[in-house]
Structure 1
């Protein structure tokens, strides 16, 4: 694994988040922190991270709901749930929800670090496939935010354009409402019109047929895309 590993820590307890940040930074990680579920979902969908440490009891959006939405959006980044809810039923619920691992609080630091190393190795073995999203009009390199079209042209996207195209392309037959796209791709915005704006940007770059408008429902990849 080359480069500095990045970890998203989704934890609303400021003291614990600070401790985890210090600990993981000392182990060579670059740490991104989300203090609520809405921010965690946004960063999980738009940031390139190697692993996510996710608390269940997050404000705004519950941690398990964040996890389910990440998986429903096609995100494959390994997730370790770190929670005070640690009985067998809770662990099963978390693993069934899409987590790769589950560790109860209070936890042993060495065990946490070992589990993160395992998840990083697991993520690295599938990361190259997960970072490339193919659609009929070409291929999106998620890490570089670049599309290589069927004609061989390379088109660089903005962060939001890339996130929106990835969301739609990973599930090409699914219709996404504006509300869902606003929450998962544009979590820091509150105007649904921003979705329409970025759909327009992508159509301008790749043609109107790239994204289909499903009247009264939302958007999906076009049948010609």
Structure 2
């Protein structure tokens, strides 16, 4: 399920209780989020690995893969998106387990709606404060300046908005293979053909060298080397 505008901050809600999931969708949509949902850990894992979000909202007790295991798998695959975990298990040992698995915050059920929204805003602020520069091997991508800053004597390289968005998506999860359809949805949502993804990969290679984007045959693209 997907709601609201693609320009809004994206959140994934992984919750198996239909009533609570529907309430969260309404709440977050009204607060300006683009909401996607998963009813179990398997679907949550797939979406978390293949799509980009600003924040993840995970229930601790999920069918198929529980929330702690799901979070551990995401972190093990290089997903650094901030996570708020929800749970009816509110004793300290459960909170510690969730935080040790990689959650940035943990909120017990039942929760106060205003507190939930405030915690999500705080997670987004902290994430944005630390995510304006992404490593590219020995170099880095400055997202605000749209500039690739090299570590050797080469001149820095300025990118267009879409080139920067594409490279940032790849660099944000450097070990992940990104399907062309996923890149189309994330970076070029208004385009109708995957050819635009291949075109911008060509542009990046022309500016930064052929190795900057690796082709994984039959699967898509992955961050290469600068």
Give the TM bin, normalised by the shorter chain.
0.5 to 0.7
Shift of 1:123: 1.0
Shift of 1:165: 8.5
Counterpart contact for 2:72–2:101, Cα < 8 Å: yes
> Unaligned stretches of 5+ in structure 2?
1-6, 180-200, 215-222
Specify whether residues 139 and 118 from structure 1 end up closer, same or farther in structure 2 by C-alpha distance, changes over 3 A only.
closer
Specify whether residues 108 and 135 from structure 1 end up closer, same or farther in structure 2 by C-alpha distance, changes over 3 A only.
same
* Alpha-carbon distance in 2 for matches of 1:165, 1:7: 20
> Unaligned stretches of 5+ in structure 1?
143-147, 170-180, 187-201, 212-220
Counterpart contact for 1:46–1:163, Cα < 8 Å: no
Show CA shifts across 1:24-50 (max 9, x none). Answer: 101111101011111111211222211
* Alpha-carbon distance in 2 for matches of 1:29, 1:83: 22
Show CA shifts across 1:33-86 (max 9, x none). Answer: 011111111211222211111001111111101111111122111100011111
Counterpart contact for 2:10–2:55, Cα < 8 Å: yes
SS in 1 for 2:57: strand
Counterpart contact for 1:45–1:163, Cα < 8 Å: no
1:97 aligns with 2:101: yes
The RMSD of aligned alpha carbons is 4.2
- The ranges of structure 1 where at least 4 consecutive aligned residues each deviate by more than 2 angstroms after the TM superposition are 138-142, 162-169, 205-208
Query: Alignment partner for residue 136 of structure 2, among 129, 134, 137?
Result: 134
Specify whether residues 21 and 88 from structure 1 end up closer, same or farther in structure 2 by C-alpha distance, changes over 3 A only.
same
Specify whether residues 120 and 166 from structure 1 end up closer, same or farther in structure 2 by C-alpha distance, changes over 3 A only.
closer
Shift of 1:207: 7.9
1:4 aligns with 2:8: yes
Counterpart contact for 1:8–1:32, Cα < 8 Å: yes
Aligned length: 187
1:116 aligns with 2:116: no
* Alpha-carbon distance in 2 for matches of 1:9, 1:57: 13
